[in-house]
Amino acid sequence: MINGASPETLGLATPSGWSNGDKFEDFLNHFIKHVRPNNYNKVLLILDNHESHISIKIIELAKNNGIVMFTFPPHTSHKLQPLDRTVFGPLKKYYNKACNDWLLQHPGTPLTIYNVAECFGTAFPLAFTPSNIQNGFKVARIWPFNDNILAKMSS
């Protein structure tokens, strides 16, 4: 399922299609391998409140590797999550275009799960630009820091 994906791509799946703690641990180890955080060069990992992100094993793995995990309060990630605000919309647009282009280049061939990584690999660098990511933090009012963000959202 990762044909055409970027080198070092980690492909994970579960029978149910839903994330779980084991798959998140696999992701976190992959993250550690490539980002190389440590207790002298810590990184912030922003997460939703999904149960797969929170276990003693995961928290210890993160802590021992210099990862500061921050989870958003329930039902607020659509307002606070920087990528939801400025990156995933363009990603959907570019991914749909990549799929349409793939179909035009392969007439009569159905697009399957085995082509997803290739199309996603085309869309990802177009959407995940430094500018889009930085704007996400501004739109979510995380940076510059605004400690009244939740109060402003409720009004």
- Counting the structural domains of the chain, the total is 1
pLDDT tens digit sequence for 78-89: 778 888 889 999
Establish if 17 belongs to a structural domain: yes
Q: Identify which has the larger pLDDT, 110 or 5.
A: 110
pLDDT tens digit sequence for 31-73: 999 999 999 999 999 888 888 998 999 999 999 999 999 988 8
Q: Which domain holds residue 25?
A: 1-71
What value does the mean pLDDT of the chain take? 90
Establish if 102 belongs to a structural domain: no
Establish if 45 belongs to a structural domain: yes
Establish if 54 belongs to a structural domain: yes
- pLDDT computed for residue 31 by the predictor: 97
Establish if 150 belongs to a structural domain: no
**Cβ-contact 58, 50 below 8 angstroms:** no
Q: How confident is the model at residue 105 (pLDDT cuts 50, 70, 90)?
A: very high
Establish if 139 belongs to a structural domain: no
| Residue 148 CB-density burial (10 A; 0-12 exposed, 13-18 middle, 19+ buried) | exposed
Contacts for 114 with CB less than 8 Å, ≥ 6 apart: 1, 3
Q: How far is CA 33 from CA 25, 113, 125, in A?
A: 12, 27, 21
Distance separating alpha carbons of residues 3 and 115, to the nearest angstrom: 7
Establish if 143 belongs to a structural domain: no
- pLDDT computed for residue 149 by the predictor: 60
Establish if 103 belongs to a structural domain: no
Residues belonging to the chain: 155
Distance separating alpha carbons of residues 50 and 24, to the nearest angstrom: 10
**Cβ-contact 1, 11 below 8 angstroms:** yes
